[in-house]
A = this chain, B = another copy of it.
Amino acid sequence: MQNLYADLFLQKMSENPEGSLNLRLYHCIRMAILENNFLPNSQLPASRCLGKEMKISRNTVIAVYEQLMIEGYIYMKKGSGTFVAQTLPDPYFNPELLSNPKEPNLENKTHVQSYLSERAEDLLKHAFSAKTQWGAFMPGVPDVMAFPQRRFSQIQTQIGKRPSPDLLTYCNHQGGVPSLKCALVDHLKLSRMITCTEKQILVTEGTHQAIDIITKMLCDVGDTVWIEDPGYWGIRNVLRINGVRIIPIEVDDEGMIIPKLKDGETPPKLIVVTPSHQYPLGAVMSLARRRQLLAFAAYYQAWIIEDDYDSEFRFSGNPIPALQSLEADAPVIYVGTFSKTIYPALRISYLVLPQKLTKVFKTAHAELYRGGRLLIQATLAQFIEKGYYAAHVRAMRLRYDKRRLLLKRLISEQLGEDFINAYTNNAGLHLIINL
């Protein structure tokens, strides 16, 4: 019997000649147990005997036995030796499982093929994100190499030297580092005419998370959401996975054309718009359309998501004030981001919430995403406070404007004036061509 063990182990070890002797012996005994070569409670050869028969040191065998014991494969009884543990689970002795263990696999063949959920299959059918995310002519990707990374990194190093423990642990229910929320309140007042308090700010992990929490908090599965058509694929996919009914609404050169509801038609719970610079066509939503949208939302108790993804990059005139600022207590959730002005991998966006949503959104945020990343938020706050952010945005506006004018000139000269789309002149990181 003892000889048989040694033979089995030697054979198994010769099949796997990699690794130290110790590790190989460990693996082969472990696999022999897992493959049910031994009955539970059967005795293993004593370390001295096994070592002798396998022509290896007894200490090697002892070390391997000890490891296997710790892991629960074998047990030792004082004075009687080493035994294989009862590691076979009950279901092996359950006739239901033993009689025909492969059957369900055969019966449910379609199930095996579509092991993904229906919502996952649906998502993958609409997958749209590009494999390359950097280079010329990538829509919505800023020139990240122009960002003063060294300056940002200096602030980060300074903060990273002796951070407070609050910056290293999970986020509490404040919705972001206080200094960043303060900096945002000031920045929004100056640049977007938004009057809000720190309490209304919720810092999120990019715009996708912003849309995700809004959808979950305000819509159930099957609820209706209006989006602009055409619009950003990313928002559509976040809505899609959350099970809402997506209705694409046409846009023209004044932005979304607010339709009249037919009798019995369900009003939307959410309306997602890009008023500063329609994505991707570039129209700025007219004031009349803005007021119409606000009146519609108030009447039907819908919420408006104002996705202000690149309003910083206007090339003529001053920015149009945000939709959120047009009425006090408007049912508007403003979504801002640093993905276009700093760089996308930063993954910092933020919401300006209506008063009555602030507390519940912050609680839900902690529950769903368990925030954190507070060092980078503190770094960004200083970067804004010290004026570097505003300076960078100004510099980038000039740089993009030059490129835009050059590209427009080349297109006009080489292809003809008609190729330039009329309402893409003033804003944003992309330019529309008529084909």
Contacts and interface: CB of A to CB of B under 8 A. Distances in A.
A318 B71 contact: yes
Contacts of A166: 133-134
Nearest to A142: B169
Contacts of A165: 134, 144-145
Interface in A274-316: 286-293, 295-296, 298-301
Interface stretch (A44-52, A84-92, A385-393, A394-402): A84-92
Contacts of A173: 129, 131
B116 A217 contact: yes
Interface string A362-385: 011011111111111000000000
A160 B153 contact: yes
A62 interface: no
A131 B347 contact: no
A89 B292 contact: yes
Given A70-B317, A318-B67, A367-B127, A345 B88 contact: no
B104 A216 contact: no
A32 interface: no
A291 B117 contact: no
Interface stretch (A5-13, A118-126, A412-420, A427-435): A118-126
Contacts of A375: 345
A210 to B, nearest CB: 11
A169 B218 contact: no
Nearest to A220: B117
A221 interface: yes
A230 interface: no
A168 to B, nearest CB: 4
A373 B360 contact: no
A374 to B, nearest CB: 5
Interface stretch (A53-61, A180-188, A234-242): A234-242
Nearest to A87: B287
Given A89-B291, A150-B160, 20 more contacts: A70-B320, A71-B320, A87-B287, A117-B219, A119-B221, A120-B360, A127-B366, A129-B173, A131-B172, A132-B172, A133-B170, A133-B171, A149-B162, A153-B157, A156-B160, A168-B345, A206-B369, A345-B373, A346-B372, A373-B373
Interface of A: 34, 67, 70-73, 85-92, 94, 97, 101, 104-105, 108, 111-112, 115-120, 123-124, 126-134, 141, 144-145, 147, 149-150, 152-153, 156-157, 160-163, 165-173, 205-209, 212, 216-221, 223, 234, 237-238, 241, 243, 258, 260, 286-293, 295-296, 298-301, 317-318, 320-321, 326-327, 339, 343-347, 356, 360, 363-364, 366-376
12 contacts: A70-B317, A71-B321, A85-B287, A89-B295, A123-B364, A133-B166, A152-B160, A169-B345, A170-B345, A234-B370, A346-B372, A347-B371
